[in-house]
Amino acid sequence: MISLEQLSKVYQSKGKTVIGVDDVSLDINKGEIFGVVGYSGAGKSTLLRCMNILERPTEGKVMVDGIDLMTLNSRDLRKARQSIGMIFQGFHLAMAKTVLENVAFALKASGVNRQERKRRAQELLELVGLSDKADQYPAQLSGGQKQRVSIARALANDPKVLLCDEATSALDPNTTQSILKLLKRINRELGLTIVLITHEMEVVKEICDRCAVMEDGKIVEQGSTYEIFADPENELTKRFIQTVIDFRIPEKVLSERKGTIVHMTFKGDSANESVVSDLLQGYSIRANILHGKIDYIQDQALGTFVMELTGERKVVQQAIQDLREKLGEVEVLQDDRSTDQSLARAE
């Protein structure tokens, strides 16, 4: 649906060259929800605006539904943009127009007659759950309701693609969840391809099929959302994931523990099975859970556990080896300290 080939955007500012997007190639499939995550200044919003040529790339190719937008003249580009809806963090509503008029305005620009504009606008307001707010003004709405109006307006011309630029960052957590559920429902019911720009990994976890992580204008990692969470490679990606799935144990707690501390990751079916208890029954060691959590990403379970294992050193090491063979993801955070302290006392 969307294909970016060696895309770059370079600005000249006060005699200096600023690279907004740096040689990005990306394919977004029809009907999926694709997330682009990064900190402020990473280039993600610039990348999004290049997808509909609101920012004209310095180099590269932008293909949307088989059309190279970079080759279109102004008239054909305006027509092509009708199939690409866009919503923003700041809503961008006309404060002097009613909710219904805000939604209908996009249809007026497309030459739709007044009666059809009203019918279509009412239909879209019902879709986003605001049919009872048609005659109100944006100032009378909550932030979440304003964003719903923005979504309805973006859908007015039956787009094939919906670009979302930090669409939930100005909203509280509960409202964010409701907007994400709405976007997911729109994606499912309308078959809409959605590209979501965000700095919140929790948003990516909740809604995205695949995602990419950006830093300094480049994509540093991309893949299915589940695999990105289950097996991140880039250090920036790992930091983002820690904001959602954090298994770090306070140093004070670790210093009070004498056994071997291990961090285990359970993927897929293993997250719902009694892998550890079944395996450790065959060993004369004790296991104490210090942290445990199971998340569901794309309807797949991803578990993370931190445990203290105590017992004879050789037996503990053999148990860890068997866990690695079973799970693959076992990291020793702290080795057995009881033996070391016993040796220190003996000396």
Domain regions of the chain by residue span: 2-242, 251-346
pLDDT at 216: 94
pLDDT of 343 > 80? The answer is no
User: Which of 61, 65, 64, 145 lies closest to 102 in space, CA to CA?
Assistant: 145
pLDDT higher than 70, residue 332? yes
For the domain made up of 2-242, the CATH class stated in words is alpha beta
How do 300-310 and 260-267 pair as beta strands?
A: antiparallel
Q: Is the pLDDT of residue 273 over 70?
A: no
310, 316 Cβ separation under 8 angstroms? yes
With 90 as the cut, is the pLDDT of residue 182 above it? yes
Burial of 285-304, coded b for 16+ CB within 10 Å and e otherwise, reads bebeebeeeebebeebbbbb
pLDDT of residue 46: 94
Residues 6+ apart with CB under 8 A from 38: 44, 199, 213, 214, 215
The CATH homologous superfamily to which domain 251-346 belongs is ACT domain (3.30.70.260)
35-91 pLDDT, tens digit per residue, is: 999 999 899 999 999 999 999 999 999 999 999 999 999 999 988 888 999 998 878
What is the rounded CA–CA span in Å between residue 194 and residue 187? 7
Q: What sign results for the dihedral spanned by CA atoms 135, 141, 145, 151?
A: positive
Both tokens assigned to 106: 């996009």
What percentage of the chain carries pLDDT values higher than 70? 94
Query: What pLDDT does residue 342 have?
Result: 41
pLDDT at 338 over 60: yes
Q: How large is the average pLDDT for residues 280-294?
A: 81
Q: Are 139 and 98 in contact (CB under 8 A)?
A: no
Q: What is the pLDDT of residues 113-145, one digit of tens each?
A: 888 999 999 999 999 999 999 999 999 999 999
Helix segments in 58-200, DSSP class H? 74-81, 99-108, 114-127, 143-154, 173-190
Mean pLDDT throughout 242-247? 82
Checking if the pLDDT of 335 tops 90, the result is: no
Q: pLDDT digits over 316-327, tens only? A: 888 888 888 877
**Average pLDDT over every residue of 230-251:** 86
Q: In the chain, what percentage of residues exceed pLDDT 90?
A: 54
